[in-house]
């Protein structure tokens, strides 16, 4: 019998999610979700791990799919739900069309609300924790208005659930700073400039996220200070 703690990670197919999987797969039983077909998953994903294909841009349908597969695998409880899947566009507000705004809000915020509510009973069964991956952009960021709004909404959601579920389910939100992942290219963000050198590696960011998750603190931000620590310890790539 596998008695390791169980963690479900959304957006596990690339970037920070994939790095979290690689860091956590030895000592946790992982359930991974993503929108990709299983035939095109990255080779780095550990073999034999449960993978659920679910597009969260239609949040109700995506979360239904994840919950149905979770139940079908006979899971009765969940120690950690890591709500990491995210999307966005780098464009001034007048160039964001309704479809861009809708998908950013639906994946980053709508799906997160539904996931947290739907998995609350499984988390409560073992005093588990939901961890939202926010962004430093939650304070507002030029050329990312809907993305920033979705992450500000996530911060409000985390604060609300933290009060509502106090003593029953842990709630954490972690705001990463800029990290080298495929997200920037997908969002249309111009990469390759000098500023990119200050970005975290996805592995370095995963290490900081794990450190904050283990601290149990309700919120945390991974910015320059953590970057410097990694630089001096030679860990930053």
Ligand X SMILES: NC(=O)c1ccc[n+]([C@@H]2O[C@H](COP(=O)([O-])OP(=O)(O)OC[C@H]3O[C@@H](n4cnc5c(N)ncnc54)[C@H](OP(=O)(O)O)[C@@H]3O)[C@@H](O)[C@H]2O)c1
Which residues of the chain form contacts with ligand X (CB under 6 A)? 11, 13-17, 34-36, 55-57, 84-87, 107, 133, 135, 176, 178-179, 181-183, 186
Q: How far is CA 34 from CA 15, 16, 115, in A?
A: 12, 13, 14
Question: Which of 67, 124 has the CB closer to ligand X?
Answer: 67
Q: Closest approach of Cβ 127 to ligand X, in Å?
A: 25
CA distance 189 to 198: 15
CB atoms within 10 A of CB 93: 11
Q: Which two tokens stand for residue 4?
A: 């390791």
Contacting residues for 168 by C-beta, under 8 A, at least 6 apart: 124, 127
Q: Closest approach of Cβ 171 to ligand X, in Å?
A: 16
Question: Which of 6, 87 has the CB closer to ligand X?
Answer: 87
Helix (H, G, I), strand (E, B) or coil at 48: coil
Q: How far is CA 135 from CA 5, 44, 85, 94, 119, in A?
A: 26, 25, 12, 22, 22
Question: Which of 77, 143 has the CB closer to ligand X?
Answer: 143
Q: Closest approach of Cβ 90 to ligand X, in Å?
A: 11
Question: Which of 166, 196 has the CB closer to ligand X?
Answer: 196
Q: Closest approach of Cβ 133 to ligand X, in Å?
A: 4
């Amino acid at each position: 019998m596998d008695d390791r703690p169980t963690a479900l990670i959304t957006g596990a197919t690339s970037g920070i999610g994939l790095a979290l999987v690689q860091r956590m797969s030895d000592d946790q039983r992982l359930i991974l979700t993503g929108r990709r077909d299983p035939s095109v998953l990255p080779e780095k994903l550990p073999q034999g791990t449960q993978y659920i294909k679910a597009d969260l841009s239609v949040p109700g349908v995506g979360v239904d799919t994840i919950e149905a597969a979770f139940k079908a695998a006979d899971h009765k409880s969940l120690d950690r739900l890591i709500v990491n899947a995210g999307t966005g566009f780098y464009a001034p507000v007048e160039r964001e069309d309704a479809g861009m705004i809708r998908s950013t809000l639906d994946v980053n915020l709508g799906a997160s609300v539904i996931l947290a509510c739907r998995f609350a009973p499984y988390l409560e069964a073992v005093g588990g924790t939901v961890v939202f991956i926010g962004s430093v952009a939650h304070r507002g960021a030029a050329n990312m208005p809907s993305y920033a709004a979705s992450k500000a909404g996530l911060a409000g959601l985390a604060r609300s659930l933290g009060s509502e579920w106090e003593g029953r389910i842990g709630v954490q939100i972690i705001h990463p700073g800029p990290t080298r992942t495929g997200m920037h290219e997908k969002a249309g963000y111009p990469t390759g400039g000098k500023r990119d050198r200050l970005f975290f590696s996805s592995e370095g960011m995963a290490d900081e996220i794990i450190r904050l998750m283990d601290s149990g603190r309700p919120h945390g931000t991974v910015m320059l200070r953590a970057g410097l620590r990694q630089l001096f310890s030679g860990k930053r790539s």
